[in-house]
Amino acid sequence: MAAGLGERMARQRISDGGTGGPEGSGQPPGDRQAMFRSAMEAAQVGIFVFQDRCFKYVNPCFVRLFGFSAEELVDRMSPLDLVAPEQHGFVMAQMQEPTPGASGHHYELTAIRKDGSTFPVTILGAQSAFGGRPATVGTVLDISAEKAAELRIRELADYDVLTGLPNRRLFRERFVQLLAAAEREHSEIAVVFLDLDHFKRVNDSLGHSVGDELLCEVARRLDRVVRRIDTVARLGGDEFIFAMPGFHTAAATEVARRLVDVFARPFEVAGHELTVTPSLGISIYPADGRDLETLLRNADTAMYRAKDIGRNCFQFYSSEMNTATLDRLLMESNLRRALAQDEFVLHYQPLVNLQSGLIIGVEALIRWQHPELGMIMPDRFIHVAEETGLINPLGDWVLCEACRQAQAWADEGLPALAMAVNVAPVQFRQAGFVEVVAGALAASGLEASRLELELTERTVMHDADINLGTLSALHRMGVELSLDDFGTGYSSLAYLKRFPVGKLKIDRSFVNDLETDPDDRAIASTIVSMGRSLRMTVLAEGVESAEQLALLRKMGCDMAQGFLFSRPLSADGMADMLRLQPFIKG
């Protein structure tokens, strides 16, 4: 607005050739000149008059913008002295505009101050007349703030706010260019998907601010190990993606090793020394895909394969991975449907007292009664349930159904027995697990002492001090606790003594070769002795032969289960066995 007003007044004054102005203005010439000068000096844009390759007038704002005095500018300097050398040709073309009165037009230049610093300006110039000869009148506006805002907007659109790395949008733009070059040159591009292992633990234990700082440090290290022609971007969370042109499989292997090595040295973050590891998946254009979406999807699939085989490593994509991924997705989808449509059932395996032969308990084992595929064993779907979080609702259902069935048998007049239920690590660590157990007991009416929760040794020993609180709460409720797969983990006897556990289950791996392997016999015997010393019941699982049973009885083992007694049975089949009690010694 000010620019247009100043320019119009300047052009009016100049067109008058320095005289009073148009007739009929109603003002004396002196008043009009004073008004003109006041307007020019008050204008918040630079205003200039240019004639004969020199400035003929500059206002105070123009002087402030460039740092020269009016005396240094007027009749001594031309616009060429105030713009970047590479723009002189353009400026000279503008200065040669031949038509007085032609409409003004905008253009942008890089201006130079007296101190040599540069800044962006926009010029609005138009032809006029001064003293009866052609002249140029115009305005200069410093657009540094606008350019900075444009740059900031561009950064927000193209770069990750936290790490400063390119974001997904800019990565796509650059990949289009890389892809066009690769197609022309018949070359390859490696796409690397990198995900930090267990990053959530950092956020959960130290807070998101420390997690954010760690991500920034990771980004700096990653950016330093790639070439200038490579692009590394942050997709979000703890996921990073690389596009590396000219890399075939062998070269990509070396790059992947270098990226893994980046994490060998701990990160110093907020006073903490943090060690994190990466899992990397790699796909190669054009073998693994001819567009970005396919290459990203396949690199992501390979990255998850790297996590499956132990993390802190890399894997190249193979077509077999897609088959496995598709199977997993189908399994997850079917699991969700199965939960909604009550397709799961429980079977029960007897727990036998080795002294009397009496069935004094059963273990509840889940089965999936698929409407098309028939009975599906848990080893085919439990790991998917654990990975997807479905293990919690599935485990809660097992708990409730097992308690309901145990009470139903009692209501039928069958002998009271223990109902053993396996608890997955994720399920045990979920918030409110104790309340879930209490709810299952309350809903079924089952006495707490008749419910036995089986936890693996590894589950209990992970965060042992925290788990001790949950175990103690369950024990106070009256629930029995047992350690499953005992001997395969890393139990501390000091912790084992503190845990309110009443039963140890000898893992089947020590029972399989009990008749032939003296080491297995020694381990099993030691577990029995230790259990007796700690006043715990010891149960051997996986018993399949009379020889194994005889050895366990000789060791003094309290209980056993396995195919020697019975395969898992339906609820009705188990009820019949409980009535018969076929293993009682005559």
Reported as type and span, the H/E element at residue 112 is: strand 105-112
Q: What is the DSSP string of 181-239?
A: HHHHHT--EEEEEEEETTHHHHHHHH-HHHHHHHHHHHHHHHHHHS-TT-EEEEEETTE
How far is residue 540's CA from residue 287's CA, in Å, rounded to a whole number?
A: 52
Q: Is the dihedral of CA 232, 235, 236, 239 positive or negative?
A: negative
User: Does residue 101 come out as left (phi exceeding 0), alpha (psi in the -120 to 50 range) or beta?
Assistant: left
Q: Round the CA-based radius of gyration of the chain to a whole number and report it.
A: 41
Distance of alpha carbon 374 from the chain centroid: 37
Q: Where are the beta strands (DSSP E) in 18-88?
A: 46-51, 54-58
Confidence at residue 219, expressed as pLDDT on a 0 to 100 scale: 94
Confidence at residue 104, expressed as pLDDT on a 0 to 100 scale: 57
How far is residue 265's CA from residue 276's CA, in Å, rounded to a whole number?
A: 9
Other CB atoms within 10 A of residue 299 CB:
26
Q: How many helices (H) and strands (E) does the chain have?
A: 23, 21
Q: In order of start, what are the domains of the chain with their CATH numbers?
A: 2-147 (3.30.450.20), 159-317 (3.30.70.270), 342-580 (3.20.20.450)
The pairing of beta strand 344-353 with beta strand 418-422: unpaired
Instruction: Report the SS3 class of residue 538.
Output: strand
Give per-10-residue mean pLDDT for the chain (586 aa). Answer: 39 42 48 71 84 88 92 90 88 64 69 92 81 82 83 74 90 93 92 93 89 94 90 92 87 87 91 92 91 93 88 85 63 85 95 95 94 86 84 94 96 93 88 92 96 85 74 93 73 68 89 91 91 90 94 95 96 95 83
Confidence at residue 376, expressed as pLDDT on a 0 to 100 scale: 87
How far is residue 368's CA from residue 381's CA, in Å, rounded to a whole number?
A: 9
Instruction: Please answer whether residues 66 and 113 qualify as being in contact, where contact means their C-beta atoms are separated by less than 8 angstroms.
Output: yes
How far is residue 521's CA from residue 171's CA, in Å, rounded to a whole number?
A: 60
Instruction: Please answer whether residues 45 and 6 qualify as being in contact, where contact means their C-beta atoms are separated by less than 8 angstroms.
Output: yes
The position carrying tokens 């992970």 is 462
How far is residue 516's CA from residue 527's CA, in Å, rounded to a whole number?
A: 18
Alpha helices in 229-365 (DSSP H): 249-261, 292-308, 319-340
How is residue 142 written in tokens? 């410093």
How far is residue 21's CA from residue 12's CA, in Å, rounded to a whole number?
A: 7
pTM above 0.75, yes or no: no
Confidence at residue 435, expressed as pLDDT on a 0 to 100 scale: 94
Q: What is the DSSP string of 418-457?
A: EEEEE--HHHHHSTTHHHHHHHHHHHHT--GGGEEEEEEH
Phi, psi of 567 (to 5 degrees): -75, 165
Residues forming a β-bridge with 141: 122
User: Which amino acid is present at 114?
Assistant: K
Phi, psi of 419 (to 5 degrees): -105, 110
Confidence at residue 108, expressed as pLDDT on a 0 to 100 scale: 87
Reported as type and span, the H/E element at residue 529 is: helix 518-533
